[in-house]
Amino acid sequence: MAITRVMGLDPGSETTGYGIIDTDGVKHIVVEYGAIRSRAGMTFADKLLNIATRLETIIERVHPEAFAIEETFYAVNVKTAIKLGHVRGAAIVAAARTGITISEYSPLEIKSAIVGYGRAEKHQIQEMVRIILKMKDLPQPHDAADALAVAICHIHHNATLKRYNKSGSH
């Protein structure tokens, strides 16, 4: 069976988590994960440029076939939601420039795919990511664990779509 490389992204203006997984649909192997951090004192425009540039560099280096990103969720603070939207936009443009397939998943879809419960907490997601990916330690920071969860969600979603299309149920 062919191996697919999936990159997951948990966008944030201060810390953007990323995770890359190789999968054959059954077995998942962590390639790399981490966080893109903004330096103190950076303007918001510089933070966006930093995120986009670093993502382009990572994508060019690891060559994922798919890019999955968390959708903006409802935020009490409108200013925070707008900033997150800008970060997502910069990340999506960076991925689109490389020509890879881009998919978006809601926090509810991601948590349901990983934990089986849409209101799961951060530590539950981290632990399930560790178990699913057979990692010795919890992936840190939690932004990177969330990004790996986005990638796993994408893998599960695609597997379900393939089964559905194969069955001729459409």
Show which residues are catalytic: 10, 70, 143
Euclidean distance between CA atoms 69 and 143, whole angstroms = 12
Quick count: other Cβ atoms within 10 Å of Cβ 53? Answer: 13
Euclidean distance between CA atoms 145 and 91, whole angstroms = 18
Which three-class secondary structure state does DSSP give residue 23? Answer: strand
Per the CB < 8 A criterion, the answer to whether 135 and 129 are in contact is yes
Angle between helices 107-114 and 142-167 (to 10 degrees): 80
In this structure, what token pair is assigned to residue 18? 């990323």
